[in-house]
Amino acid sequence: MKNTSFAELQLLEPILRAVRDQGYDTPTPIQSQAIPHLLDGRDLLGIAQTGTGKTAAFALPILDLLAGERRPTQSRRPSVLVLTPTRELASQISESFAVYGKHVGVSQTVVFGGVGQGPQVQVLKRGVDVLVATPGRLIDLISQRHVNLDSVEVFVLDEADRMLDMGFIHDVRRVIAQLPKDRQSLLFSATMPNDIVKLAHTILNDPVRVEVTPPATTVERIEQSVLFVEKADKRKLLGMVLRDKAIERALVFTRTKHGANRVVKSLQQIGEKAEAIHGNKSQGARERALEGFRQGRVRVLVATDIAARGIDVVGITHVINFDLPNIPDSYVHRIGRTARAGKDGTAISFCDTEERAFLRDIEKVIRQKVPVVPEHPFKSKGGPARGPARPATSQATSKQASQRGRTGGNKGAAGRGRGRGGNRSGNRSRSGGRAMARSA
Ligand code: AMP
């Protein structure tokens, strides 16, 4: 596929400048495929996971549309609503809007639970163009009349499958019921279970479908290995693995919050700078841990799947599965944290006797065997029948085994055709007529 440039996407100059400031040279596949359609006012079904550049894929055209529109910001009535499952993801999306929108006068804020409502209410009262929210807090604010969705022109539902997993789908439907019928809608999901297909049908109107980087493609860029170990030895094994200086920034996954705390404690006992991030921690503690990790003060961040959702930290060199997930897709999500925006990474998994079945399921989904590290000091008795691979932190990986080259995984946009007709501006002229894609 030909590499489109950002300039070819015909975004406004101040937005292109912000993109350049970020050091982005070329749009990622989801950006080059989605942005032209979004500027045209089309609805979009984006099948993409975090790490593909999907935030900019929607934030850039939204900012472009708002910047060209020049209409007054209204108190409590945002023009754009982005709904996302976790606080971390919400904060990151809001930061992205701030970064990409720094040269255009678009106001935005983020609301989520677990923190005081007062400051959020104040900002909403003053008025914002873009509101990024998690469902629970948004519903609270709507029911108290601190926010009204009547003026929403663009609605983004992010990580729809996670919303479902986390039990938010009911709340999502309640929010959607508050939106005006005439709007532009975008739905992003890494996977498309039946419930999401149904939801997409109710939200989207003749959407363009853009699908990027199916899990196997991301996985191919990651050097994977598995170490068989008894459950009781996992903490010692982790201490040993972390002695490798090549591990600059490691994200360690445990199945439970308690497990995360125990791992952090044992790492701190051996002098490792480690922090846990999970739902039992206060928002402040989570943000401090994440910031320490970003800045390199904390080398090891220990997280559960839910807490890690949406964490966007550049330069995670290693993902370590202290516990293997029982849902194979979670494995793909987890290890994808290390192969952000075209970078490679390493994923090391610990597998105890009870987790062997999880490993088999994972291997089916990623369509490859994870190379086994046969020799290490904490090898479990019932050791593996297969292998061999070099030590976990060396270069022996699935990558060489499955080096089929990067395809980018682009399936191309499907479902073309005009948008909602009458109300849409159709082919937007990039010189004049920069009004929002729907007429008032
Ligand atoms: P996302 O999938 O939105 O979470 O983005 C993943 C990461 O890719 C973020 O750290 C972005 O800053 C980065 N990113 C987004 N677009 C580009 C681009 N065109 N070139 C390089 N990096 C990008």
pLDDT at 420: 32
**Alpha carbon distance 95, 115 (integer Å):** 18
Give the residues surrounding ligand 1 with Cβ less than 6 Å away: 24, 27-28, 31, 50-56, 312, 314, 340-341
- Asked if 87 and 193 sit in the same domain, the reply is yes
What CATH number is attached to the domain comprising 176? 3.40.50.300
- Asked if 150 and 238 sit in the same domain, the reply is no
**Alpha carbon distance 369, 386 (integer Å):** 10
- Asked if 365 and 304 sit in the same domain, the reply is yes
Q: Which two tokens stand for residue 11?
A: 């975004």
Q: Which two tokens stand for residue 78?
A: 């945002």
- Asked if 91 and 73 sit in the same domain, the reply is yes
pLDDT in tens, the chain (440 residues): 456 799 899 999 999 999 999 888 889 889 999 999 999 999 999 998 877 889 999 999 999 999 987 778 999 999 999 999 999 899 999 999 999 999 998 999 999 999 999 999 999 999 999 999 999 999 999 999 999 999 999 999 999 998 988 899 999 999 999 999 999 999 999 888 889 999 999 999 999 999 885 544 567 778 999 999 999 999 999 999 999 988 999 999 999 999 999 999 999 999 999 999 876 777 788 888 888 998 889 999 999 887 776 576 778 899 999 999 988 878 988 888 886 655 678 999 999 999 999 999 999 888 789 999 988 999 887 555 444 444 444 333 343 333 333 333 332 222 223 233 333 333 333 333 333 333 32
- Asked if 229 and 175 sit in the same domain, the reply is no
Q: How far is the CA of 25 from the centre of ligand 1 (A)?
A: 11
Position 244: which residue type? D
pTM for the complete prediction? 0.60
- Cβ density class 405-430: b for 16+ within 10 Å, e for less: eeeebbeebeeeeebbeeebbeebee
- Asked if 46 and 173 sit in the same domain, the reply is yes
- 369: containing domain: 222-397
Query: From the alpha carbon of 96, which atom of ligand 1 is closest?
Result: 12
Query: From the alpha carbon of 25, which atom of ligand 1 is closest?
Result: 20
- Asked if 10 and 103 sit in the same domain, the reply is yes
Q: How far is the CA of 415 from the centre of ligand 1 (A)?
A: 26
- 308 part of a folded domain: yes
- Asked if 115 and 208 sit in the same domain, the reply is yes
Q: Which two tokens stand for residue 214?
A: 């199916």
**Cβ of 170: how many Cβ atoms within 10 Å?**
10
- 402 part of a folded domain: no
Q: How far is the CA of 291 from the centre of ligand 1 (A)?
A: 18
CB 340 within 8 A of CB 288: no
Q: How far is the CA of 57 from the centre of ligand 1 (A)?
A: 9
pLDDT at 408: 32
- Asked if 122 and 191 sit in the same domain, the reply is yes
- Asked if 184 and 298 sit in the same domain, the reply is no
Q: How many domains does the chain have?
A: 2
Cα torsion for 268, 327, 28, 415, to the nearest 10°? -160
Q: Which two tokens stand for residue 105?
A: 């006068």
Q: How far is the CA of 157 from the centre of ligand 1 (A)?
A: 18
- Asked if 245 and 379 sit in the same domain, the reply is yes
- 127 part of a folded domain: yes
pLDDT digits (tens, 9 = 90+) for 183-193: 999 999 988 88
Q: Residue with structure tokens 């061999």?
A: 388
pLDDT digits (tens, 9 = 90+) for 395-439: 333 433 333 333 333 322 222 232 333 333 333 333 333 333 333
Q: Which residue, judged by its Cα, is nearest atom 20 of ligand 1? A: 24
pLDDT at 418: 29
- 428 part of a folded domain: yes
Q: What are the strands, taking DSSP E only, across 260-412?
A: 274-277, 300-303, 318-321, 345-351
Position 44: which residue type? L
pLDDT at 241: 96
Name the residue of 33, 91, 312 to mutate for ligand 1: max ligand atoms within 8 A of Cβ.
312
- Asked if 62 and 162 sit in the same domain, the reply is yes
**Alpha carbon distance 285, 307 (integer Å):** 12
CB 183 within 8 A of CB 424: no
